[in-house]
């Protein structure tokens, strides 16, 4: 199949691109950094650096939309929040406009989202049908999904993939946590009772591949493992996996002072379960955190 991926050089997109090319799909990656495409060392991958390069006569059976500025790379000033929104919502809007102009429409759009869609909800178990609580991340995800769903007006099947904390080697939030934990300086965040809904990157890729082949899949899916954990549990599992102590908790007040509004990403609680995936028979390779961390840490 001919597949276009936006954000194809990112932490998830890079591994997905490699997986798709191994299956002999014809993959084109949209990236402003063409050097990053070359560094993936996948000779068969084509590259675009601007959506303006797409022409109406171009056709892709599958479009996978993962582009977006890193949400955890800088404190959330008003300007930074606007950059985060524009990189997701405006790019998705541009992508939908390109699809509208295509003579032959894609069969499927897989569009990124996140479990931030639900907002901070404490101990409540969250499924795809759960109500939401409004904050910046929640509104971002709602607006992002709404732009993607416009493609349904063109007869395109749309799958929205609400992603949790992705575990894999070579990037992601876990990569930021490894050094302090390796030095024995890790610890819980705040009171440690907030829920962390995680997924191994290989399972995320398997979900995307399932969406491509299973024509019955449509709408929003929680891309999280079936067993979310509290931050306390995550801290213990990571420390045990590294054979290090975890003796230095970080008080919530300090996180709020250092991170401002962005502290909600690590102090907020989303106990998300993949109800739709499980109901539709998807089998996770990594269902418990210890085995997922063991696989990831084997590469570090």
CA distance 293 to 234: 10
Question: b/e per residue, 247-268, with b = 16+ CB within 10 A?
Answer: eebbebeebeeebeebbbbbbb
Counted domains in the chain: 1
Give 40's pLDDT tier (boundaries 50, 70, 90): confident
Give 238's pLDDT tier (boundaries 50, 70, 90): very high
Higher pLDDT, 34 or 127: 127
Q: What range defines the domain where residue 271 resides? A: 2-297
49 has a pLDDT exceeding 90: no
288 has a pLDDT exceeding 90: yes
44 has a pLDDT exceeding 90: no
Contacts of 11 (CB under 8 A, 6+ apart): 166, 168, 170, 171, 172, 201
pTM of the model: 0.96
Q: Which of 108-112, 160-164, 257-261 has the lowest mean pLDDT?
A: 257-261
The full DSSP string for 62-106 is EEEE-----SSSS---HHHHHHHHIIIIIHHHHHHHHHHH-SS--
Cα–chain center distance at 244: 28
Instruction: Tell me the backbone φ, ψ of residue 79, rounded to 5 degrees.
Output: -65, -40
Question: How much is the mean pLDDT over the chain?
Answer: 94
Report the CATH number at residue 290.
3.40.50.720
Q: What is the mean pLDDT of residues 234-242?
A: 96
Which pLDDT does position 247 carry in this prediction? 86
Which pLDDT does position 230 carry in this prediction? 98
């Amino acid at each position: 199949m001919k597949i276009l991926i936006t954000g194809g050089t990112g932490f998830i997109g890079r591994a997905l691109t490699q997986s798709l090319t191994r299956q002999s799909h014809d993959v084109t990656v949209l990236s402003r950094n063409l050097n990053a495409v070359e560094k993936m060392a996948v000779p068969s991958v084509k590259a675009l650096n601007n959506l303006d390069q797409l022409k109406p006569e171009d056709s892709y059976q599958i479009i996978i939309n993962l582009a977006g500025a890193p949400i955890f790379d800088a404190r959330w000033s008003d300007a930074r929040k606007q950059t985060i929104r524009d990189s997701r919502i405006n790019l998705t809007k541009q992508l939908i406009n390109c699809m509208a102009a295509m003579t032959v429409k894609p069969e499927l759009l897989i569009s990124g989202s996140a479990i931030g869609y639900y907002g901070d909800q404490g101990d409540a178990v969250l499924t795809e049908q759960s109500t939401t609580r409004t904050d910046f991340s929640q509104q971002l995800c709602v607006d992002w999904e709404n732009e993607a769903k416009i493609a349904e007006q063109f007869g395109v099947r749309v799958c929205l993939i609400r992603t949790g904390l992705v575990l894999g080697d070579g990037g992601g939030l876990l990569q930021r946590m490894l050094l302090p934990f390796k030095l024995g300086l890790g610890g819980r965040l705040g009171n440690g009772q907030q829920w962390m809904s995680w997924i191994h990157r290989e399972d995320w890729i398997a979900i995307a591949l399932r969406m491509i082949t299973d024509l019955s899949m449509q709408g929003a899916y929680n891309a999280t493992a079936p067993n979310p954990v509290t931050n306390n549990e995550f801290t213990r599992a990571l420390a045990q996996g590294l054979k290090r102590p975890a003796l230095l908790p970080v008080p919530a007040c300090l996180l709020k002072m250092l991170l401002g509004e962005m502290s909600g990403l690590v102090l907020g609680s989303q106990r998300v379960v993949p109800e739709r995936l499980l109901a539709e028979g998807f089998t996770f390779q990594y269902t418990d955190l210890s085995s997922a961390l063991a696989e990831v840490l084997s590469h570090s």
